[in-house]
């Protein structure tokens, strides 16, 4: 038994703080779940910015979406949610087996909304709806304006 599995067996949930299309395409995320007892994944705009900017894996998708008029935040969100849906599907058996204790995948609202209660509420609802997965949750910054957005979104 590896150390990660030992931690899991002691009740520790291990989450991956990263996502790239490559780890989805080449089976690395599946292997992390199976071999290292990874039980969740967190992401944020910075993680996706690095993933998209440092990889050719997104280029064709970007070109296709740009031809359809997508740009800026809308394009970014579509790319991110496509990857997060795939990750959520991989974690779904964990989510189901633990009755929702583990198996979560997360996406954060834009940091530009950290001081915008209404904007954070709207963005969280939109991301959750477009995510289309019960084990995808949306993070909202814990700023003075974010706290009411969190309360409203729950």
Neighbours of 7 (CB within 10 A): 14
Neighbours of 54 (CB within 10 A): 11
Q: How far is CA 8 from CA 1, 15, 93, in A?
A: 11, 11, 16
Within 68-144, where are the H helices?
Answer: 72-97, 117-131
- Tally of CA atoms within 13 A in the half-sphere of 113 that contains its CB: 21
Across the chain, mean pLDDT equals 94
Question: Is the pLDDT reported for residue 1 higher than 90?
Answer: no
Question: Is the pLDDT reported for residue 3 higher than 90?
Answer: no
Mean pLDDT of 17-31: 97
132-147: per-residue pLDDT in tens?
999 999 999 999 999 9
Q: What is the pLDDT of residue 9?
A: 83
Q: What is the pLDDT of residue 67?
A: 96
pTM over 0.85: yes
Question: Is the pLDDT reported for residue 128 higher than 70?
Answer: yes
| DSSP type of residue 111 | G
- Report how far residue 92's alpha carbon sits from residue 59's, in angstroms, rounded to the nearest whole number: 28
Starting at the edge strand found earlier in the chain, the sheet holding 14-16 runs: 14-16, 38-41, 104-108, 136-139
- Report how far residue 64's alpha carbon sits from residue 105's, in angstroms, rounded to the nearest whole number: 26
75-127: per-residue pLDDT in tens?
999 999 999 999 999 999 999 999 999 999 999 999 999 999 999 999 999 99
The catalytic position among 65, 68, 70, 139 is: 139
Domains annotated for the chain, with CATH where assigned, are 3-153 (3.20.20.70)
**Is residue 70 among the annotated active site residues?**
no
Assign 8 a pLDDT band (cuts: 50, 70, 90): confident
Query: What percentage of the chain has pLDDT greater than the value 70?
Result: 99
């Amino acid at each position: 038994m590896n150390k990660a599995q030992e931690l899991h067996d002691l009740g520790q949930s291990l989450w991956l703080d990263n996502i790239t299309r490559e780890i989805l395409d080449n089976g690395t995320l599946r292997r992390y779940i199976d071999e290292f007892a990874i039980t969740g994944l967190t992401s944020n705009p910075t993680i996706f910015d690095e993933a998209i900017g440092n990889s050719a894996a997104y280029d064709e998708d970007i070109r296709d979406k740009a031809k359809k008029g997508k740009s800026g935040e809308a394009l970014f969100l579509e790319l991110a949610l496509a990857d997060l849906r795939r990750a959520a599907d991989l974690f779904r058996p964990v989510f189901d087996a633990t009755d929702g204790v583990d198996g979560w995948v997360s996406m954060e609202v834009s940091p530009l909304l950290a001081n915008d209660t209404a904007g954070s509420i709207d963005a969280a609802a939109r991301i959750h709806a477009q995510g289309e997965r019960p084990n995808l949750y949306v993070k909202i910054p814990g700023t003075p304006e974010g706290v009411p957005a969190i309360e409203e979104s729950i």
